[in-house]
A and B are shown apart, each in its own frame.
Chain A
């Protein structure tokens, strides 16, 4: 076995036997799942939550309308809205002191007796004198409901003025609209969505596994420097062999992680066959059967790993301690994370001007192209960005080897950026 592979094997075993690796292996998918499930569940729970409110109708004509609307609504979703008598203290208070009285009843500290909202309809309710919706926190659903009920009441009044005595019957009329997608369920549509999802998913995975493992790589190099293990390694292998072996080790860990995650997803997909999540997983796996897409995804993914790995290895080589490394890590992480500011814009227009321009910033190319590759960018962009990714990765790995050879054994000040690029030595 070559020394590069021996070092890569050692680095691989060192990383995957850390407790942190197991935590990440399990924790990251759980975190992603929770990030998807929890907001959906909270939103669903919010839609089913009982909302209690009172109406103070100083006009006298609208409280019955809202009461009727509540009855109609509760026929569809029993107990969703509960209308209570307004507290006398609030009912008879002056407009100036209303806020302080209302605050007491809208306070959550009052437990079961608390109101979620109080609707005040002025005596001369019209466009110039709007109804007031008092609430201690956001009650968007009730606010919409009340607004719709009052709008319907005003429209009924207008229709009656036009002479239709039975106008109130229109409130029972409801138009139903069912959303339909002509491509829904077709294999081509699923594959199209899955292609984008797989590529974007790989971009996110790239960032997670690259940073996670590259940080471990950086710490490893600093530990080797501090214990002089680095000298033992350098007495066994060349700096180039050591650097290449270390980066290969990180790539091995990253691929192992991705394979485990994708494999687990496939197993879950088969276990929960028939569910929406399962169809998404099957779609993603089907997308991976496209050799061009898979090849490009792998190329960008590997180049991204090499680029991030080399950057962190360079930082580790130039740092005598973790405290030293922190000085470089802050700016480096800011630079690496910068494209995330434009993710929404890039995903909404993956072949737009911003996405195209960002693809040619060397360090970002693999990450941005993974975001875009499922959206079929022009072939010339695929070729040029692939070439750029390979070139930048090769350059940074070479510079990592050079920096490692020069700084691994020294505690001298790191070079200035200009002299680092030119390879000149600080005197």
Chain B
């Protein structure tokens, strides 16, 4: 049995003259959570469709759980970005339908659907039509329909899209529980905080190419640490510090990008020596959001 749940090797997919995915390689070990990031049109959906066996790559190879994607359908669960459910179906029937297509006997699928609906607080809505559920409930039903057949690998395309913070937290918690149960998960998102909190591994795509592949710490190292100093006085003298690469004044704060390895203590010392009264001081690593924006902007500039 392969240790990798997902392996893409030099995968390219073209639609006519447009290259949607270019020479993409990635490897995801079993049991991990992969945050699949990229702006709109980056090639996330196309590559996900190749992972699902819906599209065939023009070049390269896609292996899921050690085999061809089309041969692993029963081991894969999939949640599309929009509500991929029949509006007039009842919640338990909708879940059981997908589970039976994935190979479960109908009786077992229906029983499992009701157990899962109960577990996720939707027991009393099991016979409610999808059109009668709230968006958050429908998203939960869809997530249940992706996991009811006990997949080994779960692909979630924008699972938090359009949900309120409470429902986002619940879905986040569900993803954690599923991962704790041993399921390998790939999820795409435009909300970097979700990726920061959930992902063991991050992939950033842009224009069909991979820009980054690593964990959160590695991502944060792509940008310098940043000091934020609150003061009414002019702090432009800090530009001369050997720890600072750039300085900017934003409202009541001064934002200073630090060189690699700098911890910012020298800045605090200089402010005390000049008796500058400070209202705020912190030094923090860049957020994933900053890293993401920086990577995408650099890529667009290079293009």
Task: Give the chain A neighbours of B85 by CB distance below 8 A.
Answer: 227, 229
Which one, B52, B53, B76, B82, contacts A228 given CB within 8 A?
Answer: B82
How many chain A residues touch B (CB < 8 A): the figure is 24
Q: Are B54 and A409 in contact (CB under 8 A)?
A: yes
Check if B54 sits within 8 Å of A3, measured CB to CB: no
Closest 7 CB pairs of A and B: A236-B101, A228-B80, A427-B16, A232-B84, A235-B52, A235-B78, A229-B84
Enumerate chain B residues within 8 angstroms of A409, measured Cβ to Cβ: 49, 54-55
Contact, CB under 8 Å: A233 / B101: yes
A235 vs B145: C-alpha distance when bound (angstroms):
13
A426 to B101 alpha-carbon distance, docked (Å): 32
Q: Can you report 9 residue pairs joining A to B where beta carbons are below 8 Å apart? A: A1-B100, A227-B84, A228-B82, A231-B52, A231-B80, A236-B73, A236-B102, A238-B70, A409-B49
Q: Is B220 an interface residue (CB 8 A)?
A: no
Inter-chain CA distance A421–B15, complex, in Å, is 20
A235's partner among B53, B87, B100, B106 (CB-CB below 8 A) is B53
Interface residue from B76, B84, B88 paired with A231 (Cβ < 8 Å):
B84
Distance in Å from the Cβ of B147 to the closest Cβ of chain A? 13
Q: In whole angstroms, how far apart are the Cα atoms of A348 and B101 in the complex?
A: 50
A1 x B76 contact (CB < 8 A): no
Q: Report whether B83 and A227 are in contact in the complex, using a CB–CB cutoff of 8 Å.
A: yes
Q: How far, in Å, is B93 (CB) from chain A's closest CB?
A: 9
Within 8 A of A (CB), among B181-198: none
The yes or no answer to B269 lying at the interface (CB within 8 A) is no
B78 touches A231 (CB 8 A): yes
**B272 within 8 Å of A by Cβ?**
no
- A347 at the B interface (CB under 8 A): no
Of A1, A10, A236, A425, which is in contact with the most chain B CB atoms at under 10 Å from its CB? A236
Residues of B within 8 A of A (CB): 15-17, 49, 52-55, 70, 73, 76, 78, 80-89, 97-98, 100-102, 106, 145
Known contacts A1-B106, A236-B73, A427-B17: A229-B86 contact under CB 8 Å? yes
Contact at A227–B98, with CB atoms within 8 Å? no
Let me know if A237 is at the binding interface, CB within 8 A.
Answer: yes
Chain B residues with Cβ under 8 A from A412's Cβ?
Answer: 15
Chain A residue with Cβ nearest B99:
A236
Residue from the set B55, B80, B83, B89 with the largest chain A CB neighbour count within 10 Å? B80
Contact yes or no, B82 A235, CB < 8 A:
no
Residues of A within 8 A of B145 (CB): 232
Check if B17 sits within 8 Å of A232, measured CB to CB. no
B17 and chain A: residue at smallest CB distance: A427
Q: Are B81 and A228 in contact (CB under 8 A)?
A: yes
Given contacts A232-B80, A409-B54, A427-B17, contact A237 B101 (CB under 8 A): yes
CB-based contact B101/A14 at 8 Å: no
Contact check, A235 vs B54: say whether CB atoms are below 8 A apart.
yes
Chain B residues near A7: list those with CB within 8 A: 101
B81 neighbours in A (Cβ, 8 Å): 228
Shortest CB-to-CB span from A216 to chain B, Å, is 12
A interface, CB within 8 angstroms of B: 1, 3, 6-7, 10, 14, 17, 223, 227-229, 231-238, 409, 412, 425-427
Which B residues lie within 8 Å of A1 (CB)? 100, 106
What is the bound-complex CA distance between A227 and B89, given in angstroms?
14
Residues of A within 8 A of B70 (CB): 238
Q: Which of A6, A14, A234 sits near B54, CB closer than 8 Å? A: A234
A2 CA / B138 CA spacing, docked (Å):
27
CA distance A426 to B15 in the complex (A): 10
Collect the chain A residues with CB atoms within 8 Å of residue B17's CB.
427
Chain B residue contacts of A235, Cβ below 8 A: 52-54, 73, 76, 78
Q: How far is the CA of A385 from the CA of B89 in the complex (A)?
A: 41
Q: Tell me the bound Cα distance from A191 to B25 in angstroms.
A: 72
Q: Which residue of A lies closest to B55 (CB)?
A: A409
Whether the pair B16, A232 counts as a contact (CB closer than 8 A) is: no
> Which residues does chain B contribute within 8 Å of A237, judged by CB atoms?
73, 101
Return B89 CB to nearest CB of chain A, in Å: 8
For B102, give the chain A residue with the smallest CB separation: A236
Q: How far is the CA of A223 from the CA of B89 in the complex (A)?
A: 13
Residue with the greatest number of chain A CB neighbours at <10 A, chosen from B54, B55, B78: B54
Q: Is the CB of B97 within 8 A of A10?
A: yes
Min CB–CB distance A165 → chain B (angstroms): 87
Nearest CB in chain B: distance from A410 CB, A: 8
CA–CA, A409 and B84, complex, Å: 13
**Minimum Cβ distance to chain B for residue A402 (Å):** 14
Q: Known interface pairs A14-B88, A228-B80. Does A234 touch B52 (Cβ–Cβ under 8 Å)? A: yes
- Distance of A238 from chain B, by nearest CB (Å): 8
B104 smallest CB distance to A (angstroms) = 10
Which chain A residues lie closer than 8 Å to B88 at the CB level?
Answer: 14, 17
User: CA separation between A111 and B15, bound complex, in Å?
Assistant: 76
B55, B82, B87, B98: the one contacting A236 at CB < 8 Å is B98
Q: Which of chain B's residues has its CB closest to A426's CB?
A: B16
